[in-house]
Structure 1
């Protein structure tokens, strides 16, 4: 599992910083999460193939998380894309995008599928054989969701020596890897754990976009491997964070601690600060395993 940060700063783009956008590679799938201005330029800089992105998840309809989407959609067409593109986001995102396509007469060369979200409860919005994605309802000035990405467990690993010792025919190997016990010709039942090894643990990644401190997310992200949590402000601006429904670095760390996540990544920094190291310093007073997102950084999770 690999996370590439395309942009992780709040509000407006600057010469050397970009608003929120990131790519999660999980089980050989690429998911684009939020799409602030400059996203397609950052995709090129980070050598991420446009054609591999089939699912885009938008947290909320604020410009620093959305204004790069129409450009990205249009560029996909200019590149001759024919593969379907699925977009997940708050109700209204379909109207917003289709109006821009209509007025610019720039209809796509591929089919667009919109999955508009309204529920204030966590729900599964994507699932295939390898990955499941559910929403993380957040509290912000507009309807907002984070997203939890979870790998599905791999099939069990065959213990070849054990299988051969029981003289089990190869025709049963897949059934064994799927977790089944085996009944031998003499009626003896061989339990699956004697014939297989556990697969590697499944990984999980939680993206918590703009939100005030909100303990309601804790049960949803409990024991997640990696949590990205917005940290717009330092503790000195805690009243401003509350007023604007954002979080401080310390508050992000408190969520990570209470949810028992393994790793916390901070992002969505206000551009009022000269640097971002103080975000890490403040968060580490609460939670030990803290990393700082920054544009162009990749994390092997």
Structure 2
């Protein structure tokens, strides 16, 4: 079972409906949770999906439209009521702090933990977070206001020790860390045992990119080349392309074209306009260009 998962909390667009919640996702990697966008209802969805609030330490906001950030004040307040003491870092364009700080001053002045802000330049592709499990990069997007997506790149795990072989060669425990990192082993009589005889490779590191909201932007293709899973907004069908251009959003066909050009392994589309009661036309439109496309939906858990 994969330890890199995407939980879909909401995949609708700005106008609320009974079918979809506003944008929010949780990236789960090696027992840590990273939230991307926080529309209304995000914390309730975390409850429904049994995601532990205490494992969430980083929130990445793409831009300051309400359907991507109106859930933040409630979530921050709830974390305080749950007795959180560790800091919470919110990453995003500078406007995110401008929006949140007055609310925190008014309603959350006595939080038992610290809310930190990391300003991200939405016009620049850059490393914005690195920990022992992954690296997160910003992806400049094309929207009506400054907006960026995020690329989550898992770090390669260490090789697996073949216990029978390390026992056979009597490898000391003190050498195991070096061998996991790729070192050969030299026996007391000077024989060099190749690392490949003592280990087997770990599963390849996985990559996931979140691109919402954006107009058709082929310039992002090199930044997401050959990733494992791409989430790309598909707000409109091609027949509504005039509206997509007016609002700086993408059609399902355009999302699929980005996936095709980037040669990603799989495409998930979301941020659906409230005008569509039936999403099959969007899926069909995308699959004509990129067959390995599927629809996002609330409650889904995708293994990368």
Equivalent residue number for residue 58 of structure 2: 55
Question: Could you tell me how far apart the structure 1 residues matched to 2:189 and 2:280 are?
Answer: 67
In structure 2, C-alpha distance between the alignment counterparts of 1:179 and 1:85, rounded to whole Å = 35
Kindly indicate whether the alpha-carbon contact (under 8 Å) linking 2:122 and 2:139 is maintained by their aligned counterparts in 1. no
Judged with a 3 Å threshold, the aligned counterparts in structure 2 of structure 1 residues 176 and 286 are, in CA distance, closer, same or farther, namely same
User: Which residue of the partner structure matches residue 101 of structure 2?
Assistant: 98
Is residue 2:78 matched to residue 1:80? no
3-state SS of 2:156 partner: coil
Tell me which residue corresponds to 1:122. 125
Matches within 5 A, 1:181-200: 181-200=184-203
In the TM superposition, what whole-angstrom CA distance separates every residue of 1:37-78 from its partner, at most 9, and x where no partner exists? 111222222222222211101000111101111111112112
1:80–1:278 Cα change, 3 Å: same
Q: TM-score, normalised by structure 2?
A: 0.94
Structure 1 match to 2:68: 65
Q: 1:268 aligned to 2:268?
A: no
Instruction: Determine the C-alpha separation between the residues in 2 that align with 1:283 and 1:236.
Output: 13
Q: TM-score, normalised by structure 1?
A: 0.95
Stretch of structure 1 that moved more, 119-128 or 206-215? 119-128
Is 97-106 or 30-39 further displaced after alignment?
97-106
Q: Deviations over 1:189-220 (max 9, x none)?
A: 33322321111111111111100111111111
Q: Which residue does the alignment assign to 1:294? A: 297
What's the counterpart of residue 27 of structure 1?
30
CA distance in 1, matches of 2:173, 2:111: 49
Post-superposition offset of 1:259: 1.0
**1:267-292 deviations in whole A, cap 9, x for unaligned?**
00001112111111110000111111
For the residues of structure 1 that align with 2:280 and 2:213, how far apart are their CA atoms?
A: 20
Is 1:145 paired with 2:148? Answer: yes
User: Contact 1:74–1:106 at 8 Å: present in 2 too?
Assistant: no
Residue by residue over 1:213-241, the C-alpha shift from the partner in whole angstroms, topping out at 9 and shown as x without a partner, is 11111111111111110000001111221
In the TM superposition, what whole-angstrom CA distance separates every residue of 1:84-140 from its partner, at most 9, and x where no partner exists? 101001012122111112233644221111001125221111111111111111111
Q: Does the alignment pair 1:43 with 2:42?
A: no
Q: Does 1:89 align with 2:87?
A: no
1:208 aligned onto 2:211: yes
Does 1:230 pair with 2:233?
Answer: yes
Note if contact 2:94-2:120 (Cα within 8 Å) is conserved in structure 1: yes
SS of residue paired to 1:37: coil
Instruction: String of CA shifts for 1:137-170, please: whole Å, max 9, x gaps.
Output: 1111111111111111111111233334444333
Structure 1 residues 22 and 214: CA distance shift in structure 2, 3 A: same
Q: 2:57, 2:110 → 1: CA distance?
A: 17
Contact 1:265–1:292 at 8 Å: present in 2 too? yes
Moved more, 179-188 or 54-63: 179-188
Deviation, 1:83, is 1.8
Q: Which of 226, 240, 244 in structure 1 is aligned with 2:247?
A: 244
Do the aligned partners of 1:27 and 1:131 also contact (CA within 8 Å) in 2? Answer: no
